[in-house]
Amino acid sequence: MTITRRNALIAGAGLATTAIAPFSATPLRAQQTKLKWAHVYETAEPYHTDALWAASEIAKRTNGKYQIEVFPASQLGNENQINEALGLGTVDIIYTGVAFAGSIHRPIAITNAPYVLRDFNHWRAYRDSPLFRQIASGYEGRTRHKVTALTYYGERHVTANRAINKPEDMRGMKLRVPPAPLFLMFTKSVGANATPIAFAEVYLALQQGTVDGQENPLPTIMAKKFYEVQSHIMLTGHITESLLSIVGSHIWARLNDAEKKIFSDVLMEAASRASNQIRESEQKLAEEFRKLGKTVISPDRAAFRAAAVPLHNDAASGAGWSKAEYDALQGLASSS
For 14-24, write each residue's pLDDT tens digit. Answer: 433 333 333 33
Residues 6+ apart with CB under 8 A from 117: 111, 123, 126, 240, 329
Q: How confident is the model at residue 336 (pLDDT cuts 50, 70, 90)?
A: low
Alpha-carbon gap, residue 323 to 319, rounded angstroms: 10
Q: Mean pLDDT throughout 50-69?
A: 98
Q: What is the pLDDT of residues 95-135, one digit of tens each?
A: 999 999 999 999 999 999 999 999 999 999 999 999 999 99
Sign of CA dihedral 313, 315, 319, 324: positive
Alpha-carbon gap, residue 162 to 264, rounded angstroms: 44
Alpha-carbon gap, residue 154 to 283, rounded angstroms: 10
Q: Is residue 172's pLDDT more than 60?
A: yes
Q: Picking from 47-56, 314-323, 327-336, which range would have the lowest pLDDT averaged per residue?
A: 327-336
The pLDDT of residue 16 is 37
Single pTM value for the model: 0.89
Q: What is the pLDDT of residues 244-287, one digit of tens each?
A: 999 999 999 999 999 999 999 999 999 999 999 999 999 999 99
Q: Strand ranges (DSSP E) for 98-196?
A: 146-160, 174-177, 193-196
